[in-house]
Structure 1
């Protein structure tokens, strides 16, 4: 068996995630397939690359040797691919990755207005997007980090915080009794079915902790948030939502009492220069979307009064 770039990527992914399961998810392959691939790589190299234990996968001495050579080779390959793509298209494109956000459209519009040519790659997994930036598949990623569930940020990335703590709200049917109040408690929604997307890194664990802390145990359905929106509108479920969510005639958005669930919003790139080139446009777009969301705008104004500072930064 001849080693290929994809084999080196697999070895590095296993080392950096510390798990075959997480590495398979990051690489977009099935775990059994990755396990088989690793066995073949180890056979080709003549020894085990990882020690497998309940706590995860740890590199062996042979594994550390292979990793020390694989990482610079992969970095050189990423640079080659990026340069080739730029030459083929007549100029560089800005490759943007993001988890879901209402700020995206405004961000891309501003980047285009400043002479940049962004493409967009969406993924529910912030860890996967960060890995893609580190691997040279993306230039920048805008991601969220669920409170209590730290992201695995590759060492080679530069990261800046856009919002230190963004409270998460709840969307519920417009005719739900709890919509009579501007701020709802989890007890108000304890008898409802919730829909949560367990594929979002850290989301399900954080929601479970929130329920336990409030002493509630509602029924939970698993599904993506596009499906959740449709089911909220028909009265089937309630769901966690970003505070920038704008209400609709069939869907209300409410703050949760005590702000029990939060995320940190991060922007990541390989260099400070890359960050400086896109951050102002993202900040403008984010606060624009914040002003357009009534519940969030109210929360920010109250928070600003508590902290004696402007709640929503003005956009020049």
Structure 2
């Protein structure tokens, strides 16, 4: 068996994700398929590349050696493919390759970017995983990326990638059925939701880990429902089958309400990531300003989040 670039990508994905399961989700593969591929790669290399344990998969010394050679190859191949695509398309004008975690801020951000840069070819790449966006950024496939980092669970920041913080501590609210007993309260405690099933997206970085820590601290152990489809998740919440953590700028879907969680047990840092040379400092300032304006507009439009920002001294839009 000869190692190919796809094999090297798989190894890097496992190392960055910290487990075969998470890497398989990011790569769009099943866990058994990736496990089989890893065994074949280890057979070709002649030794174990990862140790497997309860805490995930960690590179062995041989794994570190292989990864140190694999990453430059992947970066060069990604840069080569990007250059080839530009050449094939006759790309010669200005362009801006934007990546983002999903959320309502994306549309407002893009609208401001297009209005300010009407002659620039702007593309958008949406991912559930912030780690995947950072890897795309590091390999010259994106110019900027808007990412979330769950408090207490730092992202792996590739070498050379820089971050500019938009919100140091954004709270997570909870989405409930409008008929839920806690729906009429201005604040909801985790203990009040101990009997509810919680929806978790298995592809989201550390979402389950952050929830588990909050549940443990609250002395609860609720059931989990793994759902990746947003429409299905919304239907489950509206029907009262489950609840879910959500961004405070989210819009309540029919039959649901959004409520802040007492004590803010779930928070995330929001930042704009880039790498040196992708944009000039004035360009980066302007792109960040567009994102900031879009985010502030959303916060201003949500009375409960605006109130939270007032109480906590957070970022508020100009009057």
TM-score, normalization by structure 2? 0.84
- Structure 1 position 95 matched with structure 2 position 100: no
Structure 2: gaps spanning 5 or more residues: none
User: Aligned to 1:201, what secondary structure does the other structure show?
Assistant: coil
1:296 is displaced (CA, Å) by: 0.3
- What is the rounded CA distance, in whole Å, between the counterparts of 1:268 and 1:85 in structure 2? 24
1:135 is displaced (CA, Å) by: 2.6
Deviations 1:191-217 (A, max 9, x none): 433323233221112212222222233
User: Aligned to 1:180, what secondary structure does the other structure show?
Assistant: coil
Q: Could you tell me which residue of structure 1 aligns to residue 108 of structure 2?
A: 106
- Aligned residue among 261, 266, 269 for 1:264: 269
TM-score, normalization by structure 1? 0.84
1:179 is displaced (CA, Å) by: 3.0
Deviations 1:50-69 (A, max 9, x none): 253536332435x5554444
1:291 is displaced (CA, Å) by: 0.9
Paired residue total: 308
Note closer, same or farther for the CA distance 1:230–1:273 as it changes in structure 2 (3 Å cut): same
Note closer, same or farther for the CA distance 1:204–1:83 as it changes in structure 2 (3 Å cut): same
- What is the rounded CA distance, in whole Å, between the counterparts of 1:3 and 1:205 in structure 2? 34
Structure 1: gaps spanning 5 or more residues: 305-309
Q: Could you tell me which residue of structure 2 aligns to residue 227 of structure 1?
A: 232
Q: Could you tell me which residue of structure 2 aligns to residue 307 of structure 1?
A: none
- Aligned residue among 283, 290, 294 for 1:285: 294
User: Aligned to 2:271, what secondary structure does the other structure show?
Assistant: strand
Deviations 1:30-61 (A, max 9, x none): 3443344445445555x336253536332435
> What is the root-mean-square deviation in Å for CA atoms of aligned residues?
2.8
Note closer, same or farther for the CA distance 1:203–1:35 as it changes in structure 2 (3 Å cut): closer
1:250 is displaced (CA, Å) by: 2.4
Contact preservation (8 Å) 2:238, 2:256: yes
Contact preservation (8 Å) 2:75, 2:139: yes
- What is the rounded CA distance, in whole Å, between the counterparts of 2:50 and 2:180 in structure 1? 53
